[in-house]
Structure 1
């Protein structure tokens, strides 16, 4: 049994930002950044780009990580849970005689994640395998003071605590859109990839936690990248 696999989902049919997984960012295809970070950790026996798209597979290959197989079209849509994709990938490797203990989910557009971030999360998970680890970042607003819209009006989630001091309320976190670390055997045994999980948090700096879902997100990431280069 190999110890660790990194799985980077990169399907070809992204809609809000077409071809975002290989769109140029900082002078190279988008997913190249996370491939380099994963490789630089020195932790992974296998780094697998999970794609249904031959062009994306070729880009991964040019970076030294051509996928051993393509993802089935049936699980390359907008609706298949990412843990279902991970479980399918692990089963395909098991058919080929390779099993793993730890499976890292790394997102293709996590441009600012560094090797030490991934390595730290893997260490955090492997010290206590009781729960998966998820990269999160503080929202900056307590849960009780977050707004929801009801009937065209903004209301806080808990109006009774509207006037409470922030330090007396519940800190909120959001998925950083960067990575998660899982037990590979648990993913293999999982029947419902959409079932909610309880994660242990791995805190990621806000300026590394740029979840790229829209063109505005992409433009912000480019401005941040340019500012870092100037520094």
Structure 2
């Protein structure tokens, strides 16, 4: 079934979308596996529903088990069924966003990844306030790293070896942490991409660079969550 489930809100200026695919090869049932006492997806769902500037939160999933877990959290999250073609290993996040856009009205779309459970509601609200104030067309979250990077051909990316800066004088490089993206509907329609137009960056703390992609990431993120609760 390719439709929104009941209780679609009438006012949807800013909506959050959390894609939760059922298949996960590296960590089976990753999106609903318990992490620090909660299903993995609960951490970002709680952040999204607590954000003052988000009007509605949606989960796109192909998995009835995930849908049941989301409903059991009682956060008022809306569900949209995800077609099998958008739930493969090759399917892009943009494909899920475009499918969602065909079914839900919004002005700003906040796409959140469940693999970044260190996300806080404060990050979303601060980013959305800046998004409207500047104003921006799209935005990504990032962390600042003060490491020196090189290309495969041994050319430097972010510094001049002849003038190697001291760490305290080095502004560093911003790296996407994959936590969330904000996209105006017009940009998504025009470019079919999460980023375009005037792009902004919301900087998050360095530890939020941690994402859960492999089993060894699980314990590292669990320790961070325990420390911030």
Q: Can you give the 5+ residue segments of structure 1 that lack an aligned partner in the other structure?
A: 94-98
More displaced 10-residue stretch of structure 1: 214-223 or 195-204: 195-204
Is 2:85 aligned against 1:86? no
Is contact 1:138–1:172 with CA below 8 Å preserved after alignment? yes
Aligned to 1:146: 149
Aligned to 2:129: 123
Aligned to 1:163: 162
Q: How many angstroms apart in 2 are the aligned matches of 1:135 and 1:35?
A: 17
Aligned to 2:119: 113
SS at match of 1:92: coil
Return the TM-score normalized by structure 1.
0.82
TM-superposed CA distance for 1:194, in Å, is 8.3
Is contact 1:156–1:162 with CA below 8 Å preserved after alignment? no
Is contact 2:115–2:213 with CA below 8 Å preserved after alignment? no
TM-superposed CA distance for 1:187, in Å, is 1.5
TM-superposed CA distance for 1:34, in Å, is 1.0
SS at match of 2:32: coil
Q: How many angstroms apart in 2 are the aligned matches of 1:41 and 1:66?
A: 13
**Residue-by-residue CA offset, 1:90-128 (whole Å, 9 max, x unaligned):** 1122xxxxx111110111132221111110111111223
Q: How many angstroms apart in 2 are the aligned matches of 1:160 and 1:57?
A: 47
Is contact 1:87–1:190 with CA below 8 Å preserved after alignment? no
**Residue-by-residue CA offset, 1:22-47 (whole Å, 9 max, x unaligned):** 11011111111111111111322220
Aligned to 1:100: 106
Is contact 2:183–2:195 with CA below 8 Å preserved after alignment? no
Aligned to 2:224: 224
Q: How many angstroms apart in 1 are the aligned matches of 2:212 and 2:164?
A: 33
Is contact 2:131–2:137 with CA below 8 Å preserved after alignment? yes
Aligned to 2:65: 55
Aligned to 2:7: none
**Residue-by-residue CA offset, 1:47-98 (whole Å, 9 max, x unaligned):** 00111111111111112345432111101122222122112101122xxxxx
Moved over 4 A (4+): 167-170, 194-198
Aligned positions of 1:190-201 closer than 5 A: 190-191=191-192, 193=193, 199-201=199-201
Aligned to 1:96: none
Q: How many angstroms apart in 2 are the aligned matches of 1:166 and 1:21?
A: 41
Q: How many angstroms apart in 1 are the aligned matches of 2:122 and 2:155?
A: 37
Aligned to 1:26: 36
Aligned positions of 1:35-50 closer than 5 A: 35-50=45-60
Distance 1:170 1:132, change over 3 A: same
Q: Can you give the 5+ residue segments of structure 2 that lack an aligned partner in the other structure?
A: 1-10
Aligned to 1:3: 13
